[in-house]
């Protein structure tokens, strides 16, 4: 029952686009999809099969969850790369500023003009 409530709650939180469009296109042929749908609609007799039937409804949730986790990892990698690039740019800027700054040593040298 908890699984069914969780599946219903997840379904309510889906956007219109997520409700209308399938998450992943199926690789099954039309006839195979119909066979799979017919099997899912039949009431299973074995207790394990009954429990598995409840969890099938969460498949779309787990697909979206895994997609979000992959995007999170990709963003973290991009953040690390940008942080490194930022560090390199800061170091180059520091070197440039040191190069153009006027120090006491430069001021003490004879003036060419």
Which tens digits make up the pLDDT trace of 56-87? 767 777 888 888 899 999 999 999 999 999 99
Rg (CA), the chain: 30
What pLDDT, in 10s, does the model give residues 6-52?
A: 667 777 777 666 666 555 556 667 787 777 777 667 776 777 776 77
Please give the Cα distance from 62 to 93 (Å, whole number): 46
Q: Which parts of the chain fold into alpha helices (H)?
A: 2-13, 16-20, 30-41, 47-56, 59-100, 104-108
pLDDT of residue 8: 72
Q: pTM of this prediction?
A: 0.47
């Amino acid at each position: 029952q908890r699984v069914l409530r969780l599946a219903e709650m997840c379904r309510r939180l889906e956007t219109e686009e997520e409700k209308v469009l399938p998450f992943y296109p199926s690789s099954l042929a039309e006839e195979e999809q119909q066979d799979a749908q017919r099997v899912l609609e039949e009431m299973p007799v074995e207790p394990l099969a009954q429990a598995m039937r409840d969890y099938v409804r969460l498949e779309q949730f787990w697909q979206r969850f895994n997609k979000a986790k992959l995007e999170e990892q990709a963003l973290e990698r991009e953040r690390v790369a940008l942080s490194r690039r930022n560090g390199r740019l800061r170091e180059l800027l520091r070197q440039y500023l040191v190069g153009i700054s006027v120090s006491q040593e430069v001021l003490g040298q004879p003036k060419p003009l």
